[in-house]
Structure 1
Amino acid sequence: MAWQPSPESLSTLAACLKDSLSGFDKAAQKQAEIMLTQAKSSPDINNYLVYLFSSQEPPSGLQCSPEDYFLIRSSAAIMLKNNIKTSSKEVSDSSLALIKMGIPMCLQDKNAQIRNYAGVIATEMIRRGGIMSWPELLPELLKMIGNESGQVTDEAQEGATAAMAKICEDNFKMLERELNGERPLNFILPKLIQATKSPLPKVRAHALTAINVFTARKSQAMLNSIDDLLQHLFALATDSSNDVRRQVCRAFAQLVESRPDKIQPHLPGLVDYIITQQQSDDEDLATDAAEFWLTVGEHEHLWHSLSPYIGKIIPVLLDCMVYSAEDIALLGGASDDEDEEDLEKDIKPQFAKKQSARQANKDGSADSAQNGNAYEKLASMDDDLEEGEIDDFDDGDDASPDERWTLRKCSAAALDVFARDFRDPVFESIMPYLNKNIRHTDWPYREAAVLAFGAVAEGCMNVVTPHLPQLVPYLISLLNDPEPVVRQITCWTLGRYSSWAADLTDPQQKQLYFEPMMEGILTKMLDSNKKVQEAGASAFANLEEKAGKKLEPYSLPIIQQFVRCFRKYKDRNMYILYDCVQTLAESIGPALAQENLVNELMPALIERWTKVSDQSRELFPLLECLSYVAMALNDAFTPYAQPIFVRCVNIIHQNLEASLALTNDPSIEAPDKDFLITSLDLLSAIIQALDPTMSAKLVQESQPAFFELLTFCMEDPTDEVRQSAYALLGDCAKYVFEQLQPSLPNIFPVLLKQLDLDNIIDEEIDNGFGVINNACWSAGEIAIRHKSNMAPYVPELFQRFVEIITNPGIPKGVTENAAIALGRLGLGNGDLLAPHLANFAEDFLISMDEVDPSDEKATAFRGFTAIVEKNPMAMEKSLLHFFTSIARYRDLKLRSETKNGLHEDFQKAIGIYRQIIPQFDQFLSQLQPQDQQTLRTTTYVRSRAD
Structure 2
Amino acid sequence: MSYWTPDPQAVEQLQLILNGTVSGSQSIIAEATEALTQARQQPDFENYLLHILLSNNGTDSQIRASAGLTLKNSIMLKEFAEKPDSVKHHILNEILKGLVDSDSLVRNITGNVVTSLFSLFGVKGWPQVLVQLLDLASSEGQEKAQEGAINALAKICEDSSVDLDKSYNGETPSEFIVPRLLQLMNSPIPRVRAKSVTCINLFLLIKSSAIMSRLDEYMQKLFVLATDQDGSVRRSICTAFVDILDADQIKLQPHLDGVINYCLHSVNDQDEEVALEACEFLLGLSTSLLDESLLVKKLPQIIPTLLSKMAYSELDIFLIENQDAKDDATEADRDEDIKPQMAKSKNSNRATSSKKERDTSQLEDNNDSEDDSDDDDGSDLSEWNLRKCAAATLDVLATNFPQEVLDIVFPIVRERIMSPEWPVVEASLLALGAIADGCIDLAKPQLPELIPFFVEKLKAPQPRVRQITCWTLGRYAQWVCTEAGSGGRYGAYFLPTFQAIMTCALDNKKVVQESACSSLANFVEATDQSMITPLVEPLLYHFQQCFKTYQRKNLIILYDAVQTFVEKAGEMIQANEGYISLLLPPLIEKWQQFSDDDQDLWPLLECMSTVAASLGESFAQYAVPVYERAINILQTCVEQDQRCQTSELITPPEKDFIVTSIDLIDGLVQGLTTHSAELIKQFNSNERNLMHLLLICFEDSFDDVRQSAFALLGDLSIFLLNDIVKPYLHQVMICIDNEIKHRNYNSNAVCNNATWALGEISMRLSKEEITPYLPSFVSLLIPLLEASDMQSTVLENAAITIGRMGISSNEALAPYANDFINQWCKLMLYLEENEEKETSFIGMCRILSVDPRNLVISNRQAGLAGLTNFLRCVLYYESPSEELYRMFFTLLNGFSAYFGSEWNVIVSALDQQERDLLQARYNV
> TM above 0.5, one fold?
yes
**Residues 837-880 of structure 1: per-residue CA shift (max 9 Å, x gap):** 55555555555445444333333343344444544433333366
- Does 1:501 pair with 2:480? yes
- Does 1:568 pair with 2:549? yes
Q: Counterpart of 2:507 in 1: which secondary structure? A: coil
Q: Give the equivalent residue in structure 2 for 1:822.
A: 802
After superposition, the CA RMSD in angstroms is: 3.3
CA contact (8 A) 1:855 1:894 kept: no
Shift, 1:256, TM fit: 2.3
Do the aligned partners of residues 863 and 271 (structure 1) sit closer, same or farther apart at CA in structure 2, a change above 3 Å counting?
A: closer
Trace 1:413-812 onto structure 2 (pairs within 5 A).
413-431=392-410, 433-462=412-441, 464-505=443-484, 513-547=493-527, 549=529, 550-593=531-574, 594-699=576-681, 701-703=683-685, 704-739=688-723, 740-756=725-741, 759-760=742-743, 765-787=744-766, 788-805=768-785, 807=787, 810-812=790-792
Q: Counterpart of 1:280 in 2: which secondary structure? A: coil
CA distance in 2, matches of 1:510, 1:599: 35
| Matched length | 900
Q: Counterpart of 1:829 in 2: which secondary structure? A: helix
Unaligned regions of 5+ residues in structure 2, if any?
A: 369-374
**Residues 165-221 of structure 1: per-residue CA shift (max 9 Å, x gap):** 222222222223333333322221121121110000111111111122233443312
Do the aligned partners of residues 604 and 76 (structure 1) sit closer, same or farther apart at CA in structure 2, a change above 3 Å counting?
A: farther
Q: Counterpart of 1:636 in 2: which secondary structure? A: helix
Q: Give the equivalent residue in structure 1 for 2:137.
A: 145
Q: Which of 109, 122, 129 pairs up with 2:101?
A: 109
Q: Counterpart of 2:333 in 1: which secondary structure? A: coil
Q: Counterpart of 1:889 in 2: which secondary structure? A: helix
Q: Counterpart of 1:337 in 2: which secondary structure? A: coil
Shift, 1:563, TM fit: 2.1
Q: Give the equivalent residue in structure 1 for 2:262.
A: 273
CA distance in 1, matches of 2:703, 2:31: 37
**Residues 33-56 of structure 1: per-residue CA shift (max 9 Å, x gap):** 566566666655544433333333
**Residues 445-473 of structure 1: per-residue CA shift (max 9 Å, x gap):** 33333333333333333454444444433
- Does 1:214 pair with 2:203? yes
Trace 1:191-206 onto structure 2 (pairs within 5 A).
191-206=180-195
Shift, 1:373, TM fit: 2.2
Q: Give the equivalent residue in structure 2 for 1:256.
A: 245
Shift, 1:158, TM fit: 0.6
**Residues 869-894 of structure 1: per-residue CA shift (max 9 Å, x gap):** 54443333336634752564268776
CA distance in 2, matches of 1:539, 1:918: 61
Do the aligned partners of residues 774 and 322 (structure 1) sit closer, same or farther apart at CA in structure 2, a change above 3 Å counting?
A: closer
Q: Give the equivalent residue in structure 1 for 2:372.
A: none
Shift, 1:707, TM fit: 0.8
**Residues 458-489 of structure 1: per-residue CA shift (max 9 Å, x gap):** 33334544444444334333333333223222
- Which letter maps to 2:705? V
Q: Which of 110, 127, 131 pairs up with 1:118?
A: 110
Shift, 1:939, TM fit: 5.8
CA contact (8 A) 2:47 2:87 kept: yes
CA distance in 2, matches of 1:142, 1:167: 12
Do the aligned partners of residues 924 and 108 (structure 1) sit closer, same or farther apart at CA in structure 2, a change above 3 Å counting?
A: closer
Q: Which moved more, 1:41-50 or 1:256-265?
A: 41-50
CA distance in 1, matches of 2:526, 2:922: 44
Q: Give the equivalent residue in structure 1 for 2:361.
A: 373
CA contact (8 A) 1:845 1:882 kept: no
CA distance in 1, matches of 2:391, 2:904: 65
CA distance in 2, matches of 1:859, 1:553: 37
Shift, 1:611, TM fit: 1.7
CA contact (8 A) 1:53 1:77 kept: yes
Trace 1:64-79 onto structure 2 (pairs within 5 A).
69-79=60-70
Q: Give the equivalent residue in structure 2 for 1:385.
A: none
Q: Which of 319, 331, 342 pairs up with 2:320?
A: 331
Q: Which moved more, 1:926-935 or 1:521-530?
A: 926-935
CA distance in 2, matches of 1:355, 1:836: 33
Shift, 1:599, TM fit: 1.6
Q: Counterpart of 2:483 in 1: which secondary structure? A: coil
CA contact (8 A) 1:438 1:449 kept: yes
Q: Give the equivalent residue in structure 1 for 2:371.
A: none
Q: Counterpart of 1:503 in 2: which secondary structure? A: helix
Q: Counterpart of 2:187 in 1: which secondary structure? A: coil
Q: Which moved more, 1:83-92 or 1:643-652?
A: 83-92
CA contact (8 A) 1:590 1:634 kept: no
Q: Counterpart of 2:455 in 1: which secondary structure? A: helix
CA distance in 2, matches of 1:466, 1:847: 39
Q: Give the equivalent residue in structure 2 for 1:52.
A: 52
CA distance in 2, matches of 1:188, 1:522: 60
Trace 1:177-192 onto structure 2 (pairs within 5 A).
177-192=166-181
- Which letter maps to 1:544? V
Do the aligned partners of residues 933 and 516 (structure 1) sit closer, same or farther apart at CA in structure 2, a change above 3 Å counting?
A: closer
Do the aligned partners of residues 331 and 74 (structure 1) sit closer, same or farther apart at CA in structure 2, a change above 3 Å counting?
A: farther
CA distance in 1, matches of 2:37, 2:523: 51
- Does 1:347 pair with 2:338? yes
Shift, 1:835, TM fit: 5.2
Q: Counterpart of 2:285 in 1: which secondary structure? A: helix
**Residues 75-100 of structure 1: per-residue CA shift (max 9 Å, x gap):** 33333334444547646244433432
Shift, 1:31, TM fit: 5.2
Shift, 1:5, TM fit: 5.3
CA distance in 1, matches of 2:45, 2:359: 49
CA distance in 2, matches of 1:28, 1:613: 33
CA distance in 2, matches of 1:448, 1:838: 59
CA distance in 1, matches of 2:789, 2:315: 51
Do the aligned partners of residues 737 and 448 (structure 1) sit closer, same or farther apart at CA in structure 2, a change above 3 Å counting?
A: same
Q: Counterpart of 1:504 in 2: which secondary structure? A: helix
- Which letter maps to 2:521? A
Q: Which moved more, 1:116-125 or 1:36-45?
A: 36-45
CA distance in 2, matches of 1:365, 1:555: 24
Q: Counterpart of 2:170 in 1: which secondary structure? A: coil
CA contact (8 A) 1:51 1:102 kept: no
Taking structure 1 as the reference length, the TM-score comes to 0.87
- Which letter maps to 2:426? E
Unaligned regions of 5+ residues in structure 1, if any?
A: 60-68, 381-395, 942-946
Shift, 1:232, TM fit: 0.5
CA distance in 2, matches of 1:863, 1:517: 49
Shift, 1:710, TM fit: 0.8
CA contact (8 A) 1:854 1:894 kept: no
Do the aligned partners of residues 114 and 803 (structure 1) sit closer, same or farther apart at CA in structure 2, a change above 3 Å counting?
A: same
Shift, 1:235, TM fit: 0.4
- Which letter maps to 1:76? A
CA distance in 2, matches of 1:894, 1:700: 42
Q: Which of 158, 165, 169 pairs up with 2:158?
A: 169
CA contact (8 A) 1:16 1:32 kept: yes
Do the aligned partners of residues 546 and 940 (structure 1) sit closer, same or farther apart at CA in structure 2, a change above 3 Å counting?
A: same
Trace 1:289-304 onto structure 2 (pairs within 5 A).
289-302=278-291, 304=293
Q: Which moved more, 1:97-106 or 1:872-881?
A: 872-881
- Which letter maps to 1:735? F
- Which letter maps to 1:816? E
CA distance in 1, matches of 2:502, 2:670: 31
- Which letter maps to 1:133? G
CA contact (8 A) 2:186 2:193 kept: yes
